[in-house]
Amino acid sequence: MTRSRTAYLLVAPGLLWLLVFFVAPVVQLASVSLQSPFPGYPGYYYRDVNVGNYVVALTQFAPQLGRSLLYAAIATVLCLALAFPLAYTMVFKAPRWRGLIMVLVVAPFFTSFLLRTIAWRQILADEGPLASSLRALHLLPGGHLTETAAAVVAGLTYNFLPFMVLPLYASLERVDPTLLEAGADLYGSPWQTFQRVTAPLALPGVMAGTLLTFIPAAGDYVNAELLGSEHGTKMVGNVIDAQFFRVIGGYPIAAALSFTLMAIILALVVVQVRRFGTEHLT
Amino acid sequence: MRRRLADHAVTIVAVLVLVYLFVPVAYTFIFSFNDYKKSNIAWNPQGSPTLKHWADPCGAPGVCEALGTSLQVGLVATAISTVIGTSMAIALVRLRARGRRLTDVLVFLPMATPEVVLGASLLTLFVQGFSRWGWQLGFWSIVAAHVMFTLSFVVVTVRARLQSMDPRLEEAAQDLYAGPWETFRTVTLPLLAPGIVAAALLSFALSFDDFIITTFVSGDVTTFPKYVYVAYLRGIPAEVNVIGFSMFAVATVCAVVARLVVRRAVPPSSS
């Protein structure tokens, strides 16, 4: 009796915070996404069930929506490819340096991700060292490194890499190294040992890392803004940002787009949870 | 022989990935010596490296106010989310509160929602809701938003630590006639401490570096990332590079020192 009352008291503040600052705003956003503009008063809306906002969101901005999902998916795969060797090395090859490497992975956060993305923009700039030497070697067919889709994807990969490293490390750390030795003792080649032992044991980390990189990457607009071009690399976040802050009367469309993005991501999460179970996600 | 090669390849890739993480940090460091108004765009062709920005990091107008705001938001938001997140995790794992499944989902959802959606929805609520009751966008709306999105990370981190702890230790304390509060204070809390510290550091890092949600809910208040973004359009003053790199250096040194202290304090066998 007292035990359950204590439990409620402990849960209440956090639950209340989430209800007020997460659930209520999302419900409000849902209602805005159905509002209609007040005729003759730009920037004012009335309550409505205007499904047309979703039609506009899905037709007019379909390229940006698709691009967001595609860029985020490629960046997630690249993150996995880069994070796995690092996490593997931390756990199995350099256990003494684990702590230090962990610090080094998180520390760049403090330089501010904007400052680091701006630095990438300058490093990759047309007059920068990388682009000019590649041009001199005739290895740069388009002539540019920035303002390309590749630059946006590279930026996303860079920015969300730590979110892949941390969960991968956490799950590999729980792997008993003697299992790997057993794999080798049973005449498994390194590749077989990796395939049959290491990879399945790392799966929970891969799942968590995939979600933690894909979700923020799909909603990001800073990389597209700083590394992409004016046309052809904009993501859905750029549209939402612009509709909110720069387009008068854009609120309902922005809300509808936000909601669509959230629905797509939740659907993907549910599919993944169904396939792999929930306990590994959080 | 082939195995050796593959082995080394993995390590080499790992080292390259670490280098990759640091390329822009190094860029920021080098350009903090740039004697040029638009410090991040090009190296001043006539100027030699200068230390003047390191001598006066607050020289650019507003930069230190923005940094101060970010630090304050980070500290307040981290304190709130660490306390309420930790108590939530304890209730969910140890006390098996009813409605656990629903709470789990509610904790997970903010992590599964892109920041731009969180920011947009909070802005809508403030504009069409809270501001009518007199709560304008500013310092406290940023704190409210940061607590909301760091809370889930705190719950998840502390919960993982709790789940890996042996519940028999707490049972033993109770067998020895310790009350629930005494058990919590003398057994649970010390064992939980590394998880709580990790959660607090993570939420501070996330809050300090947040840009997207903050732009939506900050009104006229300028945080450090917001300052960087606005300055970018006009040309970033080199003082920003000094501060950005210093924050990184301070964080790294603190973390390394903390690890050394912990290693000293805890005998190796128990870690």
Q: In whole angstroms, what is the distance from residue B127 CA to residue B82 CA?
A: 28
Lowest mean pLDDT among A19-23, B24-28, B44-48: B44-48
Residue B84 has its nearest CB partner, among A17, A119, A122, at A17
Per-residue pLDDT, B40: 63
Lowest mean pLDDT among A72-76, A111-115, A130-134, B80-84: A130-134
Per-residue pLDDT, B151: 96
User: How many CA atoms are closer than 13 Å to the CA of B97, on its beta-carbon side?
Assistant: 22
Per-residue pLDDT, A110: 84
pLDDT band at residue A280 using 50, 70 and 90 as cut-offs: very low
Tell me what the mean pLDDT of segment A259-278 comes to.
83
Q: In whole angstroms, what is the distance from residue A69 CA to residue A261 CA?
A: 9
User: How many CA atoms are closer than 13 Å to the CA of A117, on its beta-carbon side?
Assistant: 29
CB A168 within 8 A of CB A213: no
Quote the minimal CA–CA distance from A178 to chain B in Å: 17
Q: In whole angstroms, what is the distance from residue A24 CA to residue B40 CA?
A: 41
Give the position of tokens 């849960």: A11
Lowest mean pLDDT among A175-179, A262-266, B144-148, B191-195: A175-179
Nearest CA in chain B to A189: B3
Nearest to A184 by CA among A194, A176, A174: A194
Q: In whole angstroms, what is the distance from residue A178 CA to residue A246 CA?
A: 59
Strand partners, A119: none
Strand partners, A46: A36
Can you identify the CATH homologous superfamily of domain A62-276? Answer: MetI-like (1.10.3720.10)
Is the CB of B115 inside 8 Å of chain A's CB atoms?
yes
CB B22 within 8 A of CB B30: no
Nearest CA in chain A to B101: A278
Q: In whole angstroms, what is the distance from residue A221 CA to residue A235 CA?
A: 6
Tell me what the mean pLDDT of segment A57-68 comes to.
91
CB B234 within 8 A of CB B37: no
Per-residue pLDDT, A1: 45
Inspect the interface and report whether the beta carbons of A109 and B98 lie closer than 8 Å. Answer: no
Per-residue pLDDT, A25: 92
Q: Euclidean distance between the first and final Cα of chain B, in Å?
A: 35
Can you identify the CATH homologous superfamily of domain B61-236? Answer: MetI-like (1.10.3720.10)
Strand partners, A36: A46
Nearest to B15 by CA among A175, A93, A171: A93
Residue B16, phi then psi, degrees to nearest 5: -65, -40
- Scan residues 157-216 of A and list those with Cβ closer than 8 Å to B: 158, 161-162, 170, 190, 211-212, 215-216
- pLDDT (tens digit, 9 = 90+) per residue, A102-114? 888 888 888 888 9
Task: Please state the domain extents for chain A.
Answer: 62-276
Per-residue pLDDT, B268: 46
pTM exceeds 0.95 for this model: no
Is the CB of B57 inside 8 Å of chain A's CB atoms?
no
